[in-house]
Amino acid sequence: MNHNFLTYCEINLDGIIHNLRWVKNKVGEKVKICFAGTKANGYGYGIFEVAEAAIQSKVVDYLGVAVPDEGIYLRKKGVKTPIIVFGNILPEFAEDVVEYDLTQTVCTTDVCEALSYHSKRKKKFVRVHIKVDTGMGRIGVYPEKVIPFIRKISRLPNIYIEGIYSHLSSVGRDDEFTKQQINGFFCVLKEIEKKNIKIPLKHLANSAAIKRIPETYLDMVRPGSIIFNADIPELKQIFSLKSKVVYIKKVPANYRIGYRGNYITRKATKIATVALGYIDGYPFLLGDGKWKIIINERYFPVVGRVCMDQIMVDVGNANVKIGDEVIIIGKSKSCEIKINDVFQQVDFYNFLAPSIGIRVPRIYIKDDKIYKIRTIFGDIYERD
């Protein structure tokens, strides 16, 4: 099937399946997988499509979301897999958590009381995972308060404490602090064991820890960005971002390009305008000659400030034409730009699909063919 988009991203669903299976092989058969990559609209790739691929991998035991609405959406789409809500909620959201059989992260008694109330009223049990703050400073119970917290919420009816976990903030960046976090969580687990408190699932390892610290695997791991970034050779690249040249003009030397005229041409050249800007997710920091794109098997610099809807590219005297494909992230026959190349250039971790604007169509690839196309206006194609 042909498509007619100026700018679009391609998502390889088979790559997601492959990468999840790689994680399973790495952590071992006894370690469960909670796929965190379904949160934030599937890291921007599409929550349902990503969840569907994860389930098809047959190695995912749980899906992870940030807020109840994401889990509710998946339930309404027919997803039966257990879903953990990673974010803290307000008590007024507890009824929906119970209604849609979500597993809730907890670190406050008022939320637990609300969950208990609605579970009892609906004659159901709600599963909760206790979050421990070992130094992230985001949400979670302090380690020294975990035992009193467990004792308090375990007295509430219709609540099942299924898990306890923490989050590592600095793996690969600060080894000493990471050790402190790991040791802090392990101390909590020892205290729980001493008190003969039974909690089935202990989990700590995020994507960075999965790659580097096997001792953190415990009962379950939470891969997220590792599935999409593919920054080790065994993993498949699953994401590409492409656009087209929409205009070309010859400009003289000493010609100002873009807002504020920050970039000035050194000699007469051709400037190609590409139909993609910062509103589409292209980092504002990558203008003024700081980065490159691929056209016709060659790298060319992005010049001038990145505009909302367009970027300008200095193509020199190359044979570049209006309508030529532009690869922002992805590979041609002889050139490649990876997501992690961009990370290293600007230390801008979030340049992956969460930052790609909603007006950019998502084209899903499965079995090397277009499986589905989703635009801002909804699905326009789905393969049988």
For residue 122, give the amino acid letter. Answer: K
Tokens representing residue 355 in the block: 């930052």
Q: Of these residues, 24, 39, 131, 202, which one is catalytic? A: 39
Angle between helices 146-154 and 109-121 (to 10 degrees): 20
Distances from the Cα of 148 to the Cαs of 121, 166, 202, 251, 313, in angstroms?
A: 26, 17, 18, 71, 60
Q: What is the 3-state secondary structure (H, E, C) of 54-112?
A: HHHCCCCCEEEECCHHHHHHHHHCCCCCCEEECCCCCHHHHHHHHHCCCEEEECCHHHH
Distances from the Cα of 325 to the Cαs of 153, 273, 298, 310, in angstroms?
A: 58, 12, 12, 14
65 DSSP β-pair partners: 85
Distances from the Cα of 123 to the Cαs of 42, 82, 98, 160, in angstroms?
A: 32, 19, 10, 13
Q: Is 244 a catalytic residue?
A: no
Separation between Cα atoms, residue 118 and residue 124, nearest integer Å: 8
In this structure, the number of other CB atoms found within 10 A of the CB of residue 281 comes to: 23
Separation between Cα atoms, residue 332 and residue 323, nearest integer Å: 16
Q: Is 62 a catalytic residue?
A: no
Tokens representing residue 39 in the block: 């949160």
Instruction: Supply φ then ψ for residue 242, to 5 degrees.
Output: -135, 155
In this structure, the number of other CB atoms found within 10 A of the CB of residue 367 comes to: 9
378 DSSP β-pair partners: 375
For residue 299, give the amino acid letter. Answer: Y
Q: Of these residues, 247, 259, 299, 349, which one is catalytic? A: 259
Q: Which of 49, 55, 121 is nearest to 83 (CA)?
A: 55
Q: Which of 144, 122, 120 is nearest to 132 (CA)?
A: 144
Positions marked active-site: 39, 259
